Structure 1
């Protein structure tokens, strides 16, 4: 048995790798079973982190004290389950994937993971991807806005402590311990850039690294979690002035993502920091960047030119957010806040109402599912003859078709100046971002419904 351990780093297409290989029906591969996302980070922490530190992990903490009390028992249960999976894997290649493995906070856990897998096989290979520094800092800031509290993202950027609110790559702290624990010869590190990846695609590159033939396009599940500049600006202002990510209950992470998904329908401009804004910070990281380039065997291929929409300070985000006030009101539909001009106070009030609506939708959906399960149980026990009708109806095929066509229209509208002439290349380009456009189409349809507008498909 061969074991492949994919360690991230964060913001290098890990979700696409995980979702693709978790669902891939390949006779020679075994993807460790965990959850629908295929992301083993939480499983890695559950199995291998110090027991007294389990409650500190963000996704566990967000689920509340009752879940945290169950963690020791869950740890033993899942250790037994994974041990059985490995024992029955025969000669397959087993894949375990989690960005948390390369986190500097989990060195002891990484060592325990190595020792655990070594009980089943000595043929262990680690694969990691390293994102160029400016790209990483920009993407990580966006991610932190999604999941962290206000103090982590809102410090005045005119302070000399701007780097305190920007996450650094910390290449050496991430990967040197992996080299030490597994042996450098067993660790393959790749640059996450189109120029460096096999087929200019991280999923195909990962397949190539584990000796799997190139995947067909319809086998690849791509996720694009990037927000537009406008959506980032709104989220920044909300986190800064409303108190941040509301958590501490079971479905907090899902509710938070519902809010972010709604914001993701706004805007189309690219979020980026200007080179001038990042230059003094990157200078302080020069030694760490040099270490990573030496480990890769070549310099990063990062472009040095500024994106035309790049911001020069975090204050720019407030200005951009205020221009989206009317759009936020449209998202609220009949629940739009009372009139008035766009100020930080009125905009944050509208954003907070939008967040509350999204949270309620998730919590109500969960309650409806529980009610239906309970109703079915009572029916089976002969205590009720009422049919459960609390679930939301699934979209019809006609509705799904409208969403697909609308997604394609949105994609063409935003990419009309860069569309390749070759139709196969154009199709491939659309497929690479299809999931994000489908999500936007779904939310756009819902926004129209809020205003009493129903889309229908005209016959040919």
Structure 2
């Protein structure tokens, strides 16, 4: 659905556009661009809940208790959840009502890619909440081709210390079906497909290759005066191998814990080490496409166009845990130089992944 003329507010309500993201589809670029130009004079108002990405607020407001507890286990107990939910809903209600006062015709834009993982019960609670306010909600998001989604999500999972993705098990070289498109069907059933814009994420098909410009155009907003802040496209292959090794074998108490900002900064530094861009082996990509054939068929029907075919160089990329834990002399030289920049000795560095993990732990220890 792309015809913005069909997305007119009903019953005099203010237009509310809910951007559900879609994992690894340029959500950060969209959020940062909207935040930098957040003024009704630019044709929209981004609802700001302390951060351009409202994912945490939407999780607190609508996730099922057991799911929310699994995410907030380090900061909350089950007894805390009702207060977290009620507080998040009060906050959301307040910023929506304030947004209506500031920009009564809208569109108000709420961006939270955490919505892309909502199950039906959570999405229904969210929609019911919006329907109790003087807004007319519509939804927009992007769906990535399965193989490139798997490649991107594997990097993100490592960087953010999330449980390793069960749909790609590098120890067993196995790939299971994905469900990253399910939110579209859930929202279709909640509000009707005429209120849900779902697009293929394909930068080659976007204006100037920009998902931000495509997003604004799809909403009928002039993007000419805005400067899109495009996000990066991922980590180097060496960076991914090092982060995996650190998480898998790092024998230090903070290897998978500690302040998130420090872990993220540490991982981002590793991800920028020079090497070819991270990719999965063509055999893994082929397997991903094979087990997700239904999604390819679905895209043609629901998104209005097929997914682009991913490109991979024959014989390159990660296929197994052995690939992730294998380091060449060139790799080790880069790690040694990186360690030296932190004043860390790499005298004991060797191709043994345990030795690599030990050096990485010493580097991490300097990050305060």
- TM-score of the pair, normalised by structure 1: 0.68
Aligned to 1:262: 269
The answer on 1:342 being equivalent to 2:351 is yes
Q: Name the one with the larger helix percent.
A: 1
Q: CA deviation at 1:191?
A: 0.9
The answer on 1:229 being equivalent to 2:244 is no
1:48 to 22, 40, 62: 62
User: C-alpha separation between the residues in 2 aligned to 1:190 and 1:170?
Assistant: 16
User: C-alpha separation between the residues in 2 aligned to 1:171 and 1:156?
Assistant: 17
Q: CA deviation at 1:243?
A: 6.9
What SS does the corresponding residue of 1:18 show, helix, strand or coil? Answer: helix
2:44 to 18, 29, 38: 29
1:272 to 279, 294, 299: 279
Aligned to 1:420: none
8 Å contact kept, 1:149–1:239: no
User: C-alpha separation between the residues in 2 aligned to 1:322 and 1:295?
Assistant: 48
Structure 2: gaps spanning 5 or more residues: 1-13
1:214 to 223, 227, 231: 223
What SS does the corresponding residue of 2:366 show, helix, strand or coil? Answer: helix
Number of positions where the alignment pairs a residue of Structure 1 with one of Structure 2: 346
Q: CA deviation at 1:232?
A: 0.9
- Based on CA coordinates, which of the two structures has the bigger radius of gyration? 1
Return the structure number with greater relative CO, CA threshold 8 A, min gap 6.
2
What SS does the corresponding residue of 2:203 show, helix, strand or coil? Answer: coil
8 Å contact kept, 2:18–2:111: yes
Aligned to 2:212: 203
Aligned to 1:300: 307
Aligned to 1:162: 174
Query: Aligned runs of 1:311-390 on 2, under 5 Å?
Result: 311-320=318-327, 323-333=330-340, 334-339=343-348, 341-358=350-367, 361=368
Q: CA deviation at 1:310?
A: 3.0
8 Å contact kept, 2:251–2:358: no
Aligned to 1:141: 154
What SS does the corresponding residue of 1:6 show, helix, strand or coil? Answer: strand
Aligned to 2:188: 179
What SS does the corresponding residue of 2:300 show, helix, strand or coil? Answer: helix
8 Å contact kept, 2:282–2:316: no
Cα deviations across residues 27-51 of structure 1 (Å, max 9, x unaligned)? 1422122233x11111111111234
Q: 1:240 to 1:215 in 2, by over 3 A?
A: farther
Q: Cα RMSD (Å) of the superposition?
A: 2.9
Q: CA deviation at 1:107?
A: 2.4
Q: CA deviation at 1:136?
A: 0.8
Aligned to 2:250: 242
- TM-score of the pair, normalised by structure 2: 0.84
Q: CA deviation at 1:340?
A: 5.2
